[in-house]
């Protein structure tokens, strides 16, 4: 019989709790999600009505152009034209921005969903919308087993109305990737590892980030070994963790290999990703882990008038602050799986990402932490958090879709 973990629940308790699903909970979550989508739609319509001729989308574009705007254009291109056999080059001979930066599952799934409507954008909207609802269902279960029904429902409220909730209604792969991720974390929380053999490849070919899950499995395996006296560590679990970690690494690098085989350029994928940074910072010519993070911090601080050299200190300070959040009492109550995932993803993000306005969207996989935001039982706190979420949502929609006409208004 396993002993309780740090959150006070044993693995048997969590598995038993997973089967205590009440139909009324699904109905409540559906009503919450639909209500949130009505609000987001109103914000999108308002942003469209306020857009002028100088906006990226033009004067009063309507909802359709928003759905297929920005990165959705790349997914649309993939769905109808596939990937280029050779990498496009700039006038200087560097690899230009191209479709290889985007994984195929969302593009083709949206294409299939859009066939009955004769419009790819309809499929892109439906896939994002349905995946978002699935995320709400799984998030509720993740949080409920640790913090109870009420906090779990509030976490769904805040998640469904979060500043980036428009991602549930536009042609981005974020909600689909998050669905696979939340299901994977739930499986780990329940010690049900079999489903991960399907979920990990789905993550790997939906959007970048599965290498962060490989890191998560590594540190989770170390934690399970260190706490094996509190919760028995069986041989089959060790085998699963090692095999799944290897699968995450292999699938995490598989896209780079595929790009290299098809295009004949072994560094084609990394060169493609670096193409998006070239308009911001000097191109080092090859990928250097953590370079983008600190170079980006330096770029923004110089923009704000700081002296050269402060970027490294600022980058380290942000990482330390993020690490400190993981020890906050409400975050600790979410359980070790959520905390280790958050830590792993933040390390991954610092290693590969150049911080700019897309950082808000790149933080989307940290959505399990909404349970910690909802944890305080004060209604004043929860309604204040909801108000801030809605305010942030309007700010993001207005700047990224209503305007989108300067370098920091890119979702």
Q: Could you read off the pLDDT of 249-286 as tens digits, one per residue?
A: 999 999 999 999 999 999 999 999 998 887 777 666 67
CA 16 remoteness from chain centre: 29
Query: 169 lies in a domain?
Result: yes
Closest C-alpha to 252, from 175, 170, 337, 351: 351
Task: Give me the number of domains the chain comprises.
Answer: 1
Q: What are phi and psi for residue 95, nearest 5 degrees?
A: -65, 130
Q: What is the mean pLDDT of the chain?
A: 91
363-391 average pLDDT score:
97
Whether residue 3 lies inside any domain: the answer is: no
Q: What's the rounded Cα separation, in Å, for the pair 406 and 410? A: 8
CA dist 370 and 309 (Å) reads 35
Distance CA 213, CA 390 (A): 30
Task: Evaluate if residue 2 carries a pLDDT over 70.
Answer: no
SS3 category, 259: helix
Q: Is residue 6 part of a domain?
A: no
Domain holding 286, by residue range, is 11-403
| pLDDT at position 6 | 43
In this structure, which long-range contacts are made by residues 401-404, counting pairs with CB atoms below 8 Å and at least 24 apart in sequence?
401/44, 401/47, 401/48, 401/57, 401/66, 401/69, 401/166, 402/47, 402/48, 402/50, 402/51, 402/55, 403/51, 403/55, 403/56, 404/55, 404/56, 404/57, 404/69, 404/70
pLDDT band for position 316 (cuts 50, 70, 90):
confident
Q: Which residue has the higher pLDDT, 387 or 23?
A: 387
Give the H or E element holding residue 86.
Answer: none
Token output for 311? 């970027």
Distance CA 133, CA 33 (A): 7
Which carries the bigger pLDDT value, residue 309 or residue 371? 371
Q: CA–CA separation, 364 vs 347, rounded Å? A: 15
State how far the alpha carbon of 376 is from the alpha carbons of 7, 150, 162, 380, 381, in Å.
16, 11, 17, 10, 7
- Assigned domain for 409 exists: no
pLDDT given for residue 408 in this prediction: 84
Domain assignment of residue 5, yes or no: no
Token reading at 173: 């792969």
Q: Picking from 91-95, 136-140, 338-342, 392-396, which range would have the lowest pLDDT averaged per residue?
A: 91-95
On whether residue 394 sits in a domain, the answer given is yes
The whole-angstrom separation of Cα 95 and Cα 285 is 10
pLDDT tens for residues 59-78? 999 999 999 999 999 999 99
Query: Rounded mean pLDDT of 370-396?
Result: 97
Instruction: Give yes or no for residue 180 having a pLDDT over 60.
Output: yes
Instruction: Tell me the per-residue pLDDT of 8-51, one tens digit each, with 9 for 90 and over.
Output: 455 555 544 545 556 688 999 999 999 999 999 999 999 999 99
State in Å, rounded, how far the first CA of the chain is from the last one.
48
Domain membership of residue 395 (yes or no) is yes
Q: Residue 76: phi, psi to the nearest 5?
A: -60, -45
Q: How far is CA 389 from CA 137, 158, 287, in A?
A: 20, 7, 35
Side-chain half-sphere exposure of 241, counting CA atoms within 13 A? 21
pLDDT at residue number 310? 73
- Contact between 390 and 39 (Cβ < 8 Å): yes
Global pTM? 0.93
Q: Is 387 part of any domain?
A: yes
Residues ≥6 apart with Cβ < 8 Å to 163:
360, 389, 392, 393, 395, 396
């Amino acid at each position: 019989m396993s002993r309780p973990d740090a959150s006070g629940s044993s693995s048997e308790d969590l598995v038993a709790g997973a089967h205590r699903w009440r139909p009324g909970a699904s109905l409540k979550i559906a009503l919450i999600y639909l209500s949130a989508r009505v609000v987001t739609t109103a914000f999108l319509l308002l942003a469209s009505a306020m857009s002028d001729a100088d906006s990226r989308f033009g004067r009063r574009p309507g909802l359709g152009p928003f759905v297929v705007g920005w990165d959705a254009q790349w997914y649309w291109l993939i769905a109808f034209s596939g990937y280029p056999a050779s990498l496009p080059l700039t006038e200087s001979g560097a690899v230009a921005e191209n479709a290889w930066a985007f994984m195929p599952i969302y593009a083709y799934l949206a294409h299939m969903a859009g066939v009955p409507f004769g419009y790819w954008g309809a499929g892109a909207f439906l896939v994002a919308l349905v995946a978002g609802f699935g995320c709400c269902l799984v998030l509720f279960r993740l949080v409920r087993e640790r913090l109870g029904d009420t906090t779990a429902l509030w976490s769904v409220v805040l998640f469904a109305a979060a500043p980036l909730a428009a991602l549930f209604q536009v042609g981005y792969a974020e909600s689909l990737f998050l669905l696979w991720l939340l299901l994977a974390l739930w499986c780990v929380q329940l010690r049900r590892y079999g489903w991960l053999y399907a979920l990990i490849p789905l993550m790997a070919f939906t959007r970048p980030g599965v290498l962060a899950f490989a890191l998560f499995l590594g540190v989770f395996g170390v934690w399970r070994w260190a706490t094996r006296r509190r919760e028995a560590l069986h041989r089959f679990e060790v085998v699963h963790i090692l095999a799944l970690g290897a699968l995450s690494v292999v699938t995490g690098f598989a896209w780079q290999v595929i790009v290299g085989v098809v295009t004949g350029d072994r560094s084609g994928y990394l060169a493609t990703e670096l193409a998006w940074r070239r308009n911001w910072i000097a191109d080092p010519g090859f990928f250097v882990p953590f370079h983008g993070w600190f170079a980006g911090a330096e770029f923004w601080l110089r923009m704000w008038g700081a002296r050269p050299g402060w970027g490294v200190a600022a980058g380290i300070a942000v990482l330390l602050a993020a690490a400190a959040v993981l020890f906050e009492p409400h975050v600790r109550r979410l359980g070790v799986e959520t905390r280790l995932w958050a830590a792993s993803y933040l390390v991954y993000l610092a290693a590969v990402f150049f911080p700019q306005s897309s950082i808000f969207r790149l933080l989307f996989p940290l959505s399990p932490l909404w349970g910690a935001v909802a944890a305080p039982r004060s209604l004043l706190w929860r309604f204040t958090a909801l108000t801030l979420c809605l305010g942030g949502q309007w700010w993001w929609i207005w700047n990224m879709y209503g305007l989108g006409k300067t370098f920091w208004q890119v979702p």
